[in-house]
Amino acid sequence: MSVTIETRDNYKYFHPIQTRWNDNDMYGHVNNVIYYAYFDTAVNMFMVDNAGFDPHDATVVGICPESHCNYHKSVAYPNKLEAGLRIDRLGNSSVRYEVAIFIAGDEEAAATGYFVHVFVDRETRKPVSIPAIIRSAMETILADTPSSGGAAS
């Protein structure tokens, strides 16, 4: 399967990420599981920064039932990174974000993937509609053309 490497101009929100010494694995590069933490940080910081989301007190929260990552080039501590974010699909209770990890200053992504949130009531864990303030923020980073992967409901 051929993967097109994404560039910065395809993303609408960027969040800085500093690699940490313990992100590196025994092979001297950021371990694959750490990229998922980067994705989670970028998505949640977007909601905090742009929708006033309070992860500690919100009655509606996003949970991640699915994520995926493709790796294009190695990164390692002490690289400074940036996570690019856009929304591919925006449904009633779920959203599919597309995320790219860039080494600061690079035009081509070191890794690309997606991260799905289903919004649920914090107490019952039952799916609910995406709150209006969050939906409004999400609409600002909708991709110009949705990809063919996955669906949001």
Instruction: Write the pLDDT tens digit of every residue in 63-113.
Output: 999 999 999 999 999 999 999 999 999 999 999 999 999 999 999 999 999
Residue by residue, DSSP assigns 72-91 as: -S---TT-EEEEEEEEEEE-
Asked, for residue 78, whether it belongs to a domain, the answer is: yes
Asked, for residue 102, whether it belongs to a domain, the answer is: yes
Residue with tokens 């609408």: 12
Rounded CA separation 127/121 (Å): 7
CATH number assigned to the domain comprising residue 49: 3.10.129.10
Residue with tokens 């209006």: 132
Mean pLDDT of 53-64: 96
The amino acid sitting at 73 is: K
**Full-model pTM:** 0.90
The amino acid sitting at 3 is: V
pLDDT band at 146 (very low <50, low <70, confident <90, very high): low
For residue 57, the enclosing domain spans 8-139
Asked, for residue 77, whether it belongs to a domain, the answer is: yes
What is the pLDDT at residue 153?
A: 45
Asked, for residue 81, whether it belongs to a domain, the answer is: yes
Asked, for residue 151, whether it belongs to a domain, the answer is: no
In the chain, how many domains are there? 1
Asked, for residue 2, whether it belongs to a domain, the answer is: no
Asked, for residue 3, whether it belongs to a domain, the answer is: no
Bridge partners for 81 per DSSP = 17, 103
Asked, for residue 150, whether it belongs to a domain, the answer is: no
